[in-house]
Amino acid sequence: MGKHVIVGAGQAGGHLAERLAGQGHDVVVVTRSGSGPEGVERVAADVTDRARLTRIAQGADALYNCVNPKYHRWAQDWPPMAASFLGAAEETGAVLVMLGNLYGYGPVDGPMTEDLPLAATGTKGRVRAKMWEDALAAHKAGRIRATELRGSDYYGPHSTDQSYIGQTRFVKPLLAGKRVSYLSDPSVPHSWTYLPDVAEALAIAGTDERAWGRPWHIPTGPAVSALEVAERLCEIAGAPKPRLYEVPYPVVHAAGWFLPMAKELRETRYQFDKPFILDSSAFESTFGMAPTPLDDALRTIVAASRKSEGSGN
């Protein structure tokens, strides 16, 4: 068993910490406030403080970047954090495992594979692309060992209100029989990555040297529309038939003048206007990990939602 340092205790970092701790590893979770799940060491630190992060990561086998800055501040917040991660990984020898996304590819036609060029022209896509390009360059130069795991939009227990089909904005209102707004056409096929699968893939990447030196797509099930997800969710839960409605694009666009989050969504709108499909066959075949079937995931989500309601949360 080894020491694993996870920076970020949000929807992915929390799942990862619990999984690694359950496997018997020593787990340290780093956040600005010192929050995190029970059963692990929790440390309060500013990730941009390279010296502090390096001290925390001393003796670590792996250092995981599971941070998620505010959406509208990526261009300002990511570069100093990314530089700190690179420095800490180089000084400690810990494998740097980056939790990435698909923004770096930009708009594509057809399923996305890891060999696609990072051709994004938008701000957020270029930020993410440069983070991996810098890490890969350091890996090739022998300064660090690094890998990046990329998933599509998350869903599952503990998903935040930023998730299109997450607990707050999608699951709970549907189970309550309420109408749910969707910021694009809900009938367009889309890849959704299940959060426990994110944690499992990250844990593999931090402990298996075959993962290092290249990016991977997190095992993700076949693309389905948000409407199909809603229908299966409600059928499994015995809830009323789902009522999804598309928010017209002019409304979303206008909201961007007042809401930073809505403004940022303009850049990634392409991901929802036509089929957005992730191919994760490389990771699946290499490491023998299959994505959780949609119905199994939805049963877990329904059970978690009911447990949360029963506890008053």
- pLDDT tens digits, one per residue of 76-127: 999 999 999 999 999 999 999 999 999 999 999 999 999 999 999 999 999 9
Task: Say which residue, 61 or 184, is predicted with more confidence.
Answer: 61
Straight-line distance from the first to the last Cα atom of the chain, in angstroms, rounded to the nearest whole number: 35
Residue 162: what pLDDT?
78
Could you please report the per-residue DSSP string of 183-224? SS-TTS-B-EEEHHHHHHHHHHHHH-GGGTTSEEEPP----B
Does 264 or 80 have the greater pLDDT score?
80
Per-residue confidence at 257, pLDDT binned at 50, 70, 90? very low
Q: Is the pLDDT of residue 135 over 60?
A: yes
pLDDT confidence bin for 267, thresholds 50/70/90:
confident
Confidence of residue 54 (pLDDT cuts 50, 70, 90): very high
HSE-up of 8 (CA within 13 Å, CB side)? Answer: 21
**Which residues, including other chains, have CB under 8 Å from residue 270's CB and lie 6 or more apart?**
107
Report whether pLDDT(259) > 50. yes
Q: Measured between alpha carbons, how far is 64 from 111 in angstroms, rounded to an integer? A: 27
Q: Which residue has the higher pLDDT, 136 or 309?
A: 136
Residue 130: what pLDDT?
A: 98
Average pLDDT of the chain, as a whole number: 92
- Judged against a pLDDT cut of 80, whether residue 250 lies above it is answered with no
Lowest mean pLDDT among 88-92, 118-122, 192-196, 302-306: 302-306
